[in-house]
């Protein structure tokens, strides 16, 4: 226990260090240039989407973006530079079609361009339409009605675009229910989550978090509702304090990796721990029976992971003005706000939301690619902040190797 306390004491300092780390983006999905097009240079500037919310009881979204998001100019087609559905299928062994589960995506504030931007994303990525008219996409407020909608926030609006697009990228056959909370107060987000469940969502995607605190017990049951599975981002601050709702024992906590192509290997891809991926030993939540790691005597975050490094990032289409001043259109995103909806979509694709739990992932360890290498803090090489063989806190059991570890076959 003394060692764990020492590690936790170092976490706050380590978090500040790891956010400055950057990895090569050589693994990015860069298509060939259209005729007459000019390459756009990449930018190394990575900015948080939702600022630095630190009020007790208020959540921050966990996404990061950089630009440019298109690979070329001078052609009629804007070519997305970041990873998309085809790369997710290849890297994680996913089928192109599956269940028609309803995914409840919960964010704070309105996402004004959600439907229009989702339409462009899916059309560009070769996915079938998912619109309000067909019943595939629906946006409601935290009470479940289409009006009135809360005022938009630039950072959360960009977050919302990322969430619905990435959830639909890994489950193109799923329905998307976007529930926008009145604000980013924890109780508002919990109310929005209950509305998503009431309206039929069995898989819930939460790309936000707040540092764990005593008041979180007041809404824990919402995220651990029987017949549903909440999938939550582990955080973007490296080895640090645990984030709620990811820390709850019946929530699937999703960490993050750097994903690159690796020619000449059986898989064709390689993943390391992303330097910003959230990992933690809880100070509040007891150790669940499914976890056996030795250093953390309480709940360990995370459980599983997927790509989250914005330097090996994902393509997101967003046209609502953002607070970073990035140009509208295709952007490159990351953060565990990317990995969480990606995994939520995979669970939904498997059709297992109503019966799935983190314990089932731990019972199917062979169904995950082990993530070895990389770190998200200072911990003398221990698994709590280092990508080691087997389970480690930043990447959990690893990344999905098909759907068998997510309730599928």
Domain of 101, CATH number, reads: 3.40.50.200
Q: Is there a domain that residue 34 lies in?
A: no
Residue of 101, 336, 143, 62 lying closest to 228 (CA atoms): 101
Q: What percent of the chain has pLDDT over 90?
A: 78
Please give the average per-residue pLDDT across 28-34, as a whole number. 46
Residue 59 confidence (pLDDT) above 80:
yes
3-class SS of residue 1: coil
Q: What contacts 24+ positions apart, CB below 8 Å, involve 86-91? A: 86/29, 86/125, 86/126, 87/29, 88/169, 88/170, 88/342, 90/268, 90/269, 91/259, 91/267, 91/268, 91/269, 91/307, 91/399
Q: Return the sign of the alpha-carbon dihedral for residues 55, 60, 66, 67.
A: negative
Q: Which residue, among 131, 153, 122, has the nearest Cα to 316 in the 3D structure?
A: 122
**Has residue 32 been placed in a domain?**
no
CB 387 within 8 Å of CB 294: no
Parent domain of 250: 2-27+39-406
pLDDT at 407 over 60: yes
Q: Is residue 108 part of a domain?
A: yes
Which of the four pLDDT bands, split at 50, 70 and 90, describes residue 319? very high
Which of 4-18, 229-243, 290-304 has the lowest average pLDDT? 4-18
Query: Per residue in 129-180, pLDDT tens?
Result: 999 999 999 999 999 999 999 999 999 999 999 999 999 999 999 999 999 9
Does residue 67 sit within a domain? yes
How would residue 78 be classed by pLDDT, with cut points 50, 70 and 90?
Answer: low
Using a 10 angstrom Cβ sphere, with 0-12 exposed, 13-18 middle and 19 or more buried, the burial of residue 152 is: middle
Beta carbons within 10 angstroms of residue 175's beta carbon:
20
Give the pLDDT of residue 81: 85
pLDDT, greater one: 114 or 4: 114
Q: Tell which wins on pLDDT, 55 or 160.
A: 160
Mean pLDDT estimate for the chain: 88
Smallest Cα–Cα separation from 377: which of 45, 4, 13?
A: 13
Predicted confidence (pLDDT) per residue in 174-209, tens digit: 999 999 999 999 999 999 999 999 999 999 999 999
Supply the pLDDT for residue 22: 33
**Confidence at 347, pLDDT banded by 50, 70, 90:** very high
Q: For the residues 306-319, what does the mean pLDDT come to?
A: 95
pLDDT digits (tens, 9 = 90+) for 357-402: 999 999 999 999 999 999 999 999 999 999 999 999 999 999 999 9
> Does 33 map to a domain?
no
The number of distinct structural domains making up the chain is: 1
Total residue count of the chain as it appears in this document:
409
Could you tell me what percent of the chain has a pLDDT over 70? 85
Alpha helices in 63-213 (DSSP H): 85-92, 114-124, 154-170, 186-198
The pLDDT of residue 267: 95
User: What pLDDT score does 23 carry?
Assistant: 35
| Average pLDDT, integer, range 39-58 | 68
Helix (H) or strand (E) holding 283: strand 280-286
How many whole angstroms separate alpha carbon 395 and alpha carbon 393? 6
- Structure confidence at residue 79 (pLDDT): 64
Decide if pLDDT at 6 tops 60.
Answer: no
Q: Where are the alpha helices (DSSP H) in 93-133?
A: 114-124
3-state secondary structure 154-181: HHHHHHHHHHHHHHHHHCCCCEEEEEEE
Band (pLDDT 50/70/90 cuts) for residue 4 is very low
């Amino acid at each position: 226990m003394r060692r764990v306390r020492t590690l936790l004491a170092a976490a706050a300092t380590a978090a500040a260090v790891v956010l400055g780390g950057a990895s090569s983006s050589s693994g990015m999905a860069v298509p060939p240039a259209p005729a007459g097009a000019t390459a756009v240079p990449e930018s190394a500037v990575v900015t948080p989407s939702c600022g630095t919310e630190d009020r007790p009881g208020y959540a921050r979204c966990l996404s990061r973006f950089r630009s440019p998001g298109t690979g070329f100019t001078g052609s009629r087609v804007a070519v997305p530079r970041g990873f998309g559905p085809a790369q997710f299928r290849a890297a994680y062994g996913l089928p192109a079609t599956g269940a028609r589960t309803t995914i409840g995506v919960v964010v704070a504030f309105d996402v004004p361009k959600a439907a229009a931007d989702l339409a462009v994303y899916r059309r560009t990525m070769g996915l079938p339409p998912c619109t309000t008219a067909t019943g595939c996409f629906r946006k409601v407020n935290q009470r479940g009605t289409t009006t009135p909608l809360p005022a938009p926030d630039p950072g959360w609006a960009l977050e919302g675009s990322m969430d619905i697009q990435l959830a639909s990228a890994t489950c193109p056959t799923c329905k998307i229910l976007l529930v926008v909370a009145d604000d980013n107060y924890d109780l508002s987000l919990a109310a929005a989550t209950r509305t998503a469940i009431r309206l039929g969502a069995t898989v819930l995607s939460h790309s936000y978090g707040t540092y764990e605190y005593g008041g979180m017990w007041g809404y824990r049951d919402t995220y651990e509702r029987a017949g549903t599975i909440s999938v939550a981002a582990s955080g973007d601050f490296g080895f640090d304090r645990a984030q709620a709702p990811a820390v709850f024992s019946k929530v699937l906590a999703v960490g993050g990796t750097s994903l690159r192509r690796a020619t000449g290997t059986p898989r064709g891809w390689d993943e390391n721990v992303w330097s910003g991926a959230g990992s933690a030993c809880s100070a509040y939540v007891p150790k669940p029976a499914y976890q056996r790691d030795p250093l953390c005597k309480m709940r360990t975050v995370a459980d599983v992971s997927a790509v989250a490094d914005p330097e090996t990032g994902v393509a997101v289409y967003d046209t609502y003005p953002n607070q970073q001043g990035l140009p509208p259109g295709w952007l490159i995103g990351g953060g565990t706000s990317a990995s969480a909806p990606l995994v939520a979509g995979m669970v939904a694709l498997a059709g297992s939301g109503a019966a799935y739990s983190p314990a089932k992932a731990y019972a199917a360890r062979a169904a995950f690619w082990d993530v070895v290498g990389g770190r998200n803090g200072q911990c003398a090489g221990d698994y709590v902040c280092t990508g080691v063989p087997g389970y480690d806190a930043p990447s959990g059991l690893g990344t999905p190797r098909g759907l068998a570890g997510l309730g599928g076959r």
